[in-house]
Structures are given as structure tokens and as C-alpha cells.
Structure 1
Amino acid sequence: MASSGDQWASKAKNPRVLLQFSCDTLRIPDELAAEIGAGQALVVCPSGTGGKVKVWPVEVGRDGGGAFLGSGWPEFAEASGVEAGWLLVLRHRGRGVLTVKAFDASRCLRVLGATTPPEVEATVSSRDDARKQQFISAHPTNFMEKMLIPAKFVQQYLPKEHLNNQSAIVLGPIGKVHSIKLEMGQSDLFFAGGWSQFLAFHDITEANALLLRYEGNMVFTVKIFGPNGCPIESKHKEVRVPQNIEEQQEAPSASIQKCCENDLPISDGEKKPQGSITSLKKASPRVKCIYKIGPPAWIRKEMSTKTIRKYIQPLPAAFCNAIGFQEACTITFKTSLSSTSSWQVHVLPYKGSSHQLGSGWRRFCQENKIKEGDVCTFNIIDSTLWHVVIARR
């Protein structure tokens, strides 16, 4: 992959790049080097299965070929257990701190750290609720009509009962919902029916690489990278209206912050984006909520004790107006669009033009065992049909 290019999500939080691993030095986009803004980066590596991390000081240099990670990179590579042919996703966390995700020759996410025994790696990953399982589709051949899902990924992370439904939900970079039919080969699984339409909608070609994250219940989210390894923003416009708090910022884990604090300080978050995003009111930093108004539309909310105990979820007026709420109605909640299970939740007017979830919300929380800290993403398929993805804390 090329080391630099003219596409860079400069306004995105925690910019990341997709690169082919090399041992002695690693070529990085000039944009990433500029984002780091120093002659040295701190590259974070897990040190085993205990949740601890180690930080490697790595040179950020430039030569006639562009920017690169140099001195200190070979030591990081040896400690992390990365091998030739793997792909890396580097993410800048701010203040020169880089975190790394590695995808092995099968293009599945691997747990870094040479001390992690291969036979327990899948068990460690499956027990880590904060880690969403992911795989890479990088420069595949003949994937415009259907795309192969790595066999290793299917075997380890996709339950057979979900495969029997023969369909999946794929959410593009702006949250648009695409229903994709699954095709079962003799030993392979493909995204098939509807896949070419998904690619066309997002202008994806064989020159792009895709990072797919499994959210559970046969729901996948997708990030798109250009030939230079830099992320590509969607051509489709979206409107964000945060309510009551600032946007949720995915910060480094506590263990990373603790390990790095004696080297370079890590900020807890970045400045709030300007423009169409407006913070309406200050609130507890733990309760995080994002509203995106479509089409398509979705809401993401971190559940608080108060929310769960009262079984009420206030919805902002701007969001309710965008999806057409004007009076009391009933919404069908589904955690899997291919399942017959559903929950009926009443929506009631609340303080003028906003609304709140009433009868039925309590049952939904109880039967889905929602707890404080869990994050629920409500994808509005239709004004009265919502697909709910629950991310456990």
C-alpha cells in the first residue's frame, strides 16, 4: 500500500490507517506523521492475557520516500508477535500515542503479544466484551458481486443458528442499513445478494480495503480505506445533533493511560467538533448519547442506572421531528431482524415536541439483561421498527 495520499479524515476523531506490516521500518502516510507532530511516537503493545500493556518509543522519521516508523519499531514487532503478510490498523490516540490492531494471514483480528498462547487466543477474545471481533477485506479479487467471509472468522464467531437465517445486516460509514443475503458454498460463506448494491452506494471498488466489525446478531459495521491506507469519508451527508452532552469520545483504556502517563500525557478526549454539532446542555460525562438524523437515523446511548431504573429513555425534539413522531405510538424493537423475537414499546409525548419510551421499555431491558454501562444503538429501519444493537460494557 502507498505511504501517502490526498485522502485523510482530518476531522475524524482518533484517525487510523491500514498498512501492510514490515519489520525493519514501517512506511506511514505523511498525514499520520503530521498528526503525531513529533519525532517520536509511543506504540502500545499488550503484554499477554492479563490486560497489561507496554509502551515502545518509536522514531517518526522522513526520507526521500516519505514518513516512516524507524528505530524502536523492530523491537515492537518482535514483542507483539506480528508476522510477515499481516495487516495493521494504526490509530492515533493523541499526543503521539499509537495503538495497533493486527490482522493475520486469514485477515482475522489477532490478539497481540508474543506471550499469548495460540490455543487460548480465541477464548481470550470471546470473553472480552469490549473487543468487537473484526476482519479485513483488502484488495480481494472478484468481490464486486459477492465477498468471502474468512473461514476462521465464521468458525469462531458466527453461531450456526444465526447462519441458518441466511441474511446479515451491514451498516455503512453513515449508518445506512443494508440487508445482505448470505450464500453458503461447500466450505465458504459469502456476502451475496445486495452486496453489489452496498458497494455501489458507497463508491467502493477493488482498490479499497474494508474493515468489518461484528456487532452481534449478524450485524456488521464497515470502515473504508483507500489504496494509500487512509480512511475514506462517505460522499453521503449526515447530520448529528447531540442532546444533553458532548459527543462520545472513544478514549484509550485505563491500562494504556496508566502505562503512558509517565512518558507523554494522553488527553481524555478531543475538543468538541464545531459547525453543525451543538452541545445543548452539560451532564454527567458517563452518560453518553449520540443522535444522527437520517436518512437513515440512529441513536446511541450508554445506559445509566437512572435510565434503567426508571425505564424511560427521553428522545430529543429534533430527532423526533426528523423521523415523524407527532403523537403517542407503539414501536417494535428487534435485536435481530431475522429473528421472530420482538418487543412492543410505547412512545409518549414529553415536554412539547420531544418524546419518551414508556410501557414496554422495562420488559425490553429485563429480557435483554441491559445493565449500567451497556451501550444501545437504535437503528431506525422505519419510524415504528427499530433494530437495537446492544454492546456490553
Structure 2
Amino acid sequence: MKTIPPKNPHFFKPIHEGFKNGVNIPTAFLAKYLKGQGPKFAILRRGDRSWRVKISGGRIIADGWEKFGAENGLNVGDFVVFRKEGDRVFDVSVFEPSLCERDWPLPHGGCPVTQPSNNFCSAARDTTSTSPADHPYFVSTIKSYCLKRQELYLPMEFAMSNGLVAEEKREMILRDDKERSWSVVMGRVGNNFSLRQGWQSFQMANDLKEGDAYKFELIKSGKTPIAKFHSLGTTSSSSAENPHFVATIKPYCLRKSHLNLPLEFARSNGLMAEGKREMILRDDKERSWPVVLGTMGKHVSLLRGWQAFRMAKGLKEGDAYKFELIKSGKKPIAKFHSGHFSGEEDSMKTIPPKNPHFIKPIHQAFKNGVDIPTAFLAKYLKGQGPKFAILRRGDRSWRVKIGGARILADGWEKFAAENGLNVGDVVVFRQERDTVFDVSVFEPSLCERDCPVPQPSKKFRSAGMVEPIARDTTSTPPADHPYFVSTIKSYCLRKSHLYLPLVFARSNGLVAKGKREMILIDDKERSWSVVLGREANHFSLQHGWESFQMANGLKEGDVYKFELIKSGEKPIAKFHSLGTTSSSSAENPHFVATIKPYCLRKSQLYLPLEFARSNGLMAEEKREMILRDDKERSWPVVLGTMGRHVSLLRGWQAFRMAKGLKEGDAYKFELIKSGKKPIAKFHCHSSGEED
């Protein structure tokens, strides 16, 4: 079976005695992915923190590594997995002897959103992001030069580690919090890397002033990177330097509906006054509440408005929080960080990973199934596994059954066979959603095994559309996005909505009880707000779709690719127009399957019902279709309905015999043109040919 290298290769290291002096990068990994020698340094990322380590002769040495080991609690018997994100950037997972991933260390200062003192985190993750794959970002403030010189400097380490530095200037798309987009030029001048032409227009449109705090988030890298600029309000100093205190919710906070501030904190920061006054209280999502600040006896307290804030946040007795004063004055502004704190002196506090992992060594009888670690079940699956799971690797996915705490042979055996599992291998499972796991397979060499080339499977037949949870092989971001490819049908224009394949919507967390908002972006980076909701057996884009469709001049038969950029409460998707019924093999609607015994016995070929329905192939009467092979030879075949099936009937036998098709042969059925006389292309490899 042919294989392809993984997009983000991993290597695996058991932790042995003497690990504090450094660890070796496996020779096979060095040879295959690092040209036989490692870089001079690397950035190791874990959770919301990063560590710079030195590399010498294919070995991560003590300088930097010792600190990483100490702050992540490494011990003999642990396992560490390194995932290559860039030339010098690795995402790291640490596993305990229980086979579960160890919790992450909190960022410096014990606050999940506080940045290091240099005011940026070049390889940190966005703690507020809902995307399955978080984005690199840094936090800073607007300096006087940003207004005077009309440019914005990016930290050089951030620019280099995220692939933004190039010899020539190039374009970047910069979005604001309202999803408006600007084209800006980025480039290097001397030792600085900055946004230039276009920055002034962005700065003026967003009314940025000296001292304004912002978060710069890189959404997509590649030839034309996309970044989001989050305005965080005006502050006289960085988040790490603002006055603050750390405490827990006491019973009186719930009973008396107010929150007392430490007297010394209030006095030293000018919060004591004779009368009551208003304060703005923000949460970690930058939502704001007006509260009354006043004196009660010997206390300075948050009074009216505190109860509404507390209830909205669902605060309970014992919850830890950090109260940070962003701005003082007549109308102070404070930020309330809720999380796991026990005072800033406690730098070894931990938080659960956003995408927890577990690890399984492969032993004898593994084909019968593998157990999910008890600790993982208890912590992340409420003590019991789901009934099924989707395992993803490379551009493929497998559905497996789960019984109790065990992945059963049904589905697992196929996964094991198609990924070449053997005794001595190690498998790492990364939880992306409740029932979706990204899987990495490691050989005894400690390097990740290459991924299997996409193959026909029943999964694709039942999905109907192009691999609904497959990865976008043309995508440039570090983490690829789920997508599907289809064509504009007449109902899209007549009913003013767009159906999404139900399996795509379910597997990517888009299905909810009520309607909700989605941001839809076109190829010009323009944004529309659309309503996402369910109608009977369909899940669709509704209100707002018509406006998008008209602005982009979409017509019946136009081919498009729908790419989910970000999931969560307010998903973001990109709509790529691919032209009208293009003959591009990569973009046309298609499905992949194998020749079944009935294809030979009954002399007909069934098309997946959802594929036929969504591409306009269902009709009351039989009609002609043109079927082409890879050599562009054509056969007329009859397309019609038989019972519950849409099938190729008369003419199929002649095509099959001419191609010498046999049971088990793989094929790809690609719809080139729909309409009264559809045209399809049949790509196949006979079972005698090399796959």
C-alpha cells in the first residue's frame, strides 16, 4: 500500500534516567525531516507557554530543555511527543505512566491570559479561541511610532517562527473585531518586521490611539496570510504590569450580592471616594457590565451590577479569580479573569489541555481492540466512552465502535490494517471533539509512520459528498480545515438557502437546537453574517445567504468549496468559487468506492443517494449520461431509479467489460457536468495495477 508523509510529522521519546541533560532526536526523523541535522535552536510549545531550547548535533541539550522539563514536571517513565509545526517550532505533549496527557502548566503569574513581561508570546495559543486548532498570537499596545510612522512592528521571533519573513514585501489580509478586512503590505526593514501600506487606513477606521491594547492573532499563514486584530481597550501599561489581586469567591459574595475589594488595593489605586461611582467590569471574552463602586462601612465593594455579572458567569463559592485594574480615573475599568488560581506564587498550578491525548502501546491481540485508559475516561469522557468514534489520520477517517471503555474490533481492525499496525508500535489519540480523534502512529524507530494514501471506503459512499471530514490538501494553515465540494442547485436561488451535508454538519459540531450566526467569507475576504439552522432533515444557511449569493453572482451549476475555518458558538466559513462545472478533477463533486459483486451480477452501478440528490441526478424518468474513462473515451449509459437506488443501467455492462473491472477494484466517480445530459468521469485502477 502506498503512503504519503504526514503533514505535521511527529517523533516520540520515552523519558529515561539522565533526561535532564537532554534528549536525542531520532536519527530517522533527522534524516527525513531535518536534512540530517537539527537547527541550532527550537521553540517548544505546550499549552499557552513556549520554551526556547538549544539543539546540538541532533540532540536537544540542557540549555532550555532543563527548564522545560522542570516546568512540565517530567519524570522517568513519562513519554513526550513532539509535533513539527515549522522549521523550528514543535508542539509538545507530555504523557504520564497512566498513558494520559499531563495537565498544562499555567502561564507565568498563574493567570491563563497574562502574557510574559516582554508583552508577547510568539508561539502561544489563543486561550479564547473556539477553533479545533488554536492560532499563534501576541499581545501589545499601540506605541507613538504606530501613528507617527504609519506602521506596526511585529515581534521578530513571532514573524520568523510563523513563516511571515520573506525576501520581498507581500500582502496580508488584516481583519478587525467586526470581521471587516483590509489589505496591508508586510515586510522587513533592517532588524524590524512591520505592517506598512494599508496600516494607516486600518488604524484610522478603528480609531486606534496611543496606549490602546491589542491582540494580534495569525489566522492563516501562506502566500497571503490572514491575521485578526482584537482591540482590548485602553490601558496605561501591559496586562502583566496592571495592578491586580488574586482571591476566591466567598459565601458573602453570593449571599449579599456584592464583592469586597482589598482595602490596601483600593486605597493605593485611587478607588476610594466619598460617593458611589460607576465602574466597567469585563470578563475574559471582553464582554462588559456596568457596576457601582462604593464604600460600605470599612469595605470598598462592587455593589449594584455585581449580581448580574456573577450570575452571567455562573460563579460559585470557592471559584478562583484575578481582579485586574485596566484603567483608573472617574470611570475605572477592571477585568475579571475566572480560572484556576491560588496566588501568583504558585507557578506550578496546572490546567487541563484543550485537546487531551492518550497513548496506547501496541501489544499482542491488538486486532481485537484496545482499552481507553481509565484516567482518560474519568476525566474527559464522564466515566464512559461514546458508542462510536471517528479516527482521523492524514486525509482519511475511520468509524469505530466503542463498548464500555474499549475500542472494539468493528472498525478498529480495518484502521489497524490500513495503517500497518504491528506489535511494538505506539498510537497517540488526540481528542478533537467528543467523538472525533486525530491519531498518530509511531514505529519502533520512535518516528511517525507515513499516512496511507486516500483509499475508497464505505464511509465516502455513505457521505455522498467529497470526504466531509477530510482535510484540505491545498490549505496553507498549520492545521487543515474540514471542507466539502458541491455545485449550486436551483433551490439555492429559489429558496434562498444553502444545504450543508448533514454528516459534515454533525461531525464538525455545527448542529444545535436553535438557530445561530455564522460568518461567511468569500474569496475577496469580504464577510457576511448568515443564519445557520436546521429544517426537518436538512441543515442549511438561511437568512443572509441570498445577500451573499447575489453579491458573488452565483448561478445554477457553479462549483464551490465550503471550508470551515473556525467552529464554536459563532463559526466562520470560507466559500471558494471554483467556476462553472469545471473539469478540474480536484474540485468537481465526486465520491470514492469499490466494485461490489452486484455490479458484476446485476450489470448496474448504484450511486450514493445523497450524492445523486445533492447533484441533481434524481429524476422520475430515465435519461442518458455520458461516462468517460481516464483516456477520455466515452460510453452512453442510462441513468435511472430502481427502488431506492439511483443507478447506471444499460450501457454499464459494456463500460465495465471494456475496462476489465473486477470485484474490489477502486474507482472515483466524478461529476463533470450536470443538467439534462450529465457527463461523469470514471477514474479507476484495476486490481492488477499498482495502487
User: Smaller-chain TM-score range?
Assistant: 0.5 to 0.7
Report if aligned partners of 2:106, 2:350 keep a CA contact under 8 Å in 1.
no
Find out whether 1:174 has 2:168 as its counterpart.
Answer: no
What amino acid sits opposite 1:171 in the alignment? R
Residues 55-107 of structure 1, C-alpha deviations (whole Å, 9 max, x = no match): 23x2322xxxxx43334234432233111111111133334333321111111
Provide the C-alpha distance between the structure 2 equivalents of 1:244 and 1:183, rounded to a whole number of angstroms: 32
> Which residue of 2 is the match for residue 249 of structure 1?
477
Give, in whole Å, the separation in 2 of the partners of 1:210 and 1:243.
20
Distance in 2 (alpha carbons) for counterparts of 1:95 and 1:213: 23
> One-letter code of the match for 1:41?
F
Corresponding position: 1:215 with 2:432: yes
Q: Is this contact kept in 1: 2:388–2:402, CA < 8 A?
A: yes
CA distance in 2, matches of 1:213, 1:125: 13
Structure 1 pair 149–181 and aligned structure 2 pair: CA distance change class (3 A): same
Deviations 1:200-239 (A, max 9, x none): 2322122321111212232222222211121212333379
Q: Following the alignment from structure 1 to structure 2, what is the Cα–Cα distance between the partners of residues 198 and 113?
A: 34
1:1-393 to 2 correspondences below 5 Å: 12-22=6-16, 23=19, 24-33=21-30, 35-36=33-34, 37-38=37-38, 40-44=40-44, 51-56=48-53, 58-61=54-57, 67-72=58-63, 73-113=65-105, 124-125=351-352, 131-159=354-382, 163=385, 166-178=387-399, 180-184=400-404, 189-194=405-410, 195-237=412-454, 247-250=475-478, 290=481, 299-300=482-483, 319-320=485-486, 331-333=501-503, 335=506, 344-345=538-539, 350=555, 352-354=557-559, 369-372=569-572, 384=610
SS in 1 for 2:444: coil
- Secondary structure, counterpart of 2:68 in structure 1: helix
CA 1:122 to 1:224, structure 2 compared with 1: closer, same or farther past 3 Å? farther
Q: 91-100 or 76-85: which moved more? A: 91-100
In structure 2, relative to structure 1, the CA distance for the partners of 1:327 and 1:144 (3 Å cut) is farther
% identical equivalent positions: 17
Give how far 1:151 is off: 0.7
Given the superposition, is the C-alpha separation of residues 220 and 93 from structure 1 closer, same or farther in structure 2, using an over 3 Å criterion?
Answer: closer
SS of corresponding position for 1:223: strand
Cα 1:201–1:344 change in 2 (3 A) is same
Distance 1:371 1:320, change over 3 A: closer
Structure 1 residues 110 and 166: alpha-carbon distance in aligned structure 2, compared to 1, 3 A threshold: same
Letter in 1 for 2:442: F
Relative distance call for 1:44 and 1:200 in structure 2 (3 A) is closer
When normalised by structure 1's length, the TM-score is: 0.56
Distance 1:344 1:100, change over 3 A: same
Bigger shift: 196-205 or 69-78? 69-78
Give unpaired runs (5+ residues) of structure 2.
111-339, 342-347, 457-465, 493-498, 514-533, 542-548, 575-590, 593-607, 612-691
2:403 and 2:365 map into 1 onto residues whose CA distance is: 15
Tell me how far apart the structure 2 counterparts of residues 225 and 101 of structure 1 sit (CA, whole Å). Answer: 14
- Structure 1: tracts of 5 or more residues without a match: 1-7, 62-66, 252-288, 291-298, 301-314, 358-364, 375-379, 386-393
In 1, Cα distance between equivalents of 2:72 and 2:540 = 50
Q: Is the 8 A contact 1:86 1:103 kept in 2?
A: yes
**Counterparts of 2:403 and 2:471 in 1: how far apart (Å)?**
41
- CA shift in 2, pair 1:218/1:122, >3 Å: farther
Higher relative CO (Cα under 8 Å, sequence separation at least 6) belongs to 1
How far residue 250 of structure 1 moved from its aligned partner, in angstroms, is 1.7
Over 3 Å counting, the alpha-carbon distance change for 1:25 and 1:123 in structure 2 is: closer
Q: Report the 3-state secondary structure (helix = DSSP H, G, I; strand = E; otherwise coil) of the residue aligned with 2:379.
A: helix
Cα offset for 1:157? 0.8
Please give the alpha-carbon distance, in whole angstroms, between the structure 2 residues aligned to 1:231 and 1:244: 21
Cα gap change, 1:354 to 1:32, in 2 (>3 Å): same
Q: Which amino acid aligns with 2:352?
A: S
Aligned 8 A contact 2:429 2:440 in 1:
yes
TM-score, scaled to structure 2:
0.34
Larger radius of gyration: 2
Aligned AA (1:345): F
Q: Quote the offset at 1:340 in angstroms.
A: 12
Matched residues in 1 for 2:473 and 2:426: separation?
A: 34
Pairwise CA RMSD of aligned residues?
4.7
